[in-house]
Amino acid sequence: MTAAKQIGEPILTANSITLSFGGIVALNGISLTIRRREILAIIGPNGAGKTSMLNVINGFYHPQQGTITWRGEARRHMRPYQAAAQGIARTFQNVALFKGMTTLDNIMTGRLLRMRRNFLWQAIHFGPAEREELEHRAHVERIIDFLEIEAIRKVPVGRLPYGLQKRVELGRALAMEPELLLLDEPMAGMNVEEKEDMCRFILDVNDEFGTTITLIEHDMGVVMDISDRVVVLDYGRKLADGPPEMVRTSPDVIAAYLGEAVAPSC
């Protein structure tokens, strides 16, 4: 790729978010912004609060203090389905698919929020309901083509290897046509080849659909390669926020990861 991409205005701003469970403070006054079209990586050691941050962004958790501003609108309490309806989609650290359903059906569920006909219409599957399903199926087929999972279209996802399940989950998130895509460890447990594939898909999604992506990832090589900006969390605090090169050399980050001042090997 040669042309530089245009990173736009902030679409999501988190302002001094504090979240605690009983006596444990998971997030301690975290502020961060997500800009349109960027790939933002959130990294940090185990228990740093990365997944909690994603959960706050898409409304799973409600912070005790602080606000989230999404597309210029501040909110304190939002339900996950409202976040989904407003264009925030996500995947999970532990794959959360319907194991007994096929790849196709799983991705189709990503279209549910966009279906206009009610349950009865769909049950009868006639006229407008049928047309609607065809439209959505066509959209899902484009995603299947995009993610190169034609061969597993009709396979129940429970029978798929882990790497492919992750890909199906990405497909389901894409089916929502999200503006912001949250990926929680999209490459965990994958071999090198699967990681390379996943990186390519993430970059392609960002590039072709202009989707803003926020991801949590432990593989530093991947993070440094694909992200435009990196936020480092440690014990609920924000340690660093900046381009990968800057974060890589930050003494605080090095100390948090390695406990001493040695450059991390990537």
Residue type, 107: I
Nearest to 157 by CA among 110, 91, 97: 97
Give CB contacts under 8 A, 24+ apart, made by 45-52.
45/234, 45/256, 45/257, 47/235, 48/233, 48/234, 48/235, 48/236, 49/19, 49/233, 49/235, 49/236, 50/184, 50/216, 50/233, 51/93, 51/184, 51/216, 52/19, 52/26, 52/27
Minimum Å gap between C-beta 102 and another protein is 12
Count the Cβ atoms, other than its own, within 10 Å of residue 127.
10
Which residue in the set 148, 221, 258, 266 belongs to the binding site for another protein (CB under 8 A)? 148
Minimum Å gap between C-beta 69 and another protein is 32
Residue 7 interacts with another protein (CB under 8 A)?
Answer: no
Closer of 150 and 252 to another protein (Cβ): 150
Minimum Å gap between C-beta 119 and another protein is 25
Residue 24 interacts with another protein (CB under 8 A)?
Answer: no
Which residue in the set 145, 159, 225, 249 belongs to the binding site for another protein (CB under 8 A)? 145
Residue 131 interacts with another protein (CB under 8 A)?
Answer: no
Q: Which stretch binds another protein (CB under 8 A): 90-98, 119-127, 143-151, 178-186?
A: 143-151
Which residue in the set 114, 153, 218, 237 belongs to the binding site for another protein (CB under 8 A)? 153
Minimum Å gap between C-beta 219 and another protein is 18
Q: Which residues, numbered 197-256, are part of the site for another protein (CB under 8 A)?
A: 204, 207-208
Residue 150 interacts with another protein (CB under 8 A)?
Answer: yes
Residue with tokens 């492919």: 164
- Sequence-distant (6+) residues with CB within 8 A of 233 are 30, 42, 43, 44, 48, 49, 50, 53, 239
Residue 177 interacts with another protein (CB under 8 A)?
Answer: no
Residue 144 interacts with another protein (CB under 8 A)?
Answer: yes
Binding interface with another protein (CB under 8 A): 1-3, 137-138, 141-142, 144-146, 148, 150-151, 153-154, 204, 207-208
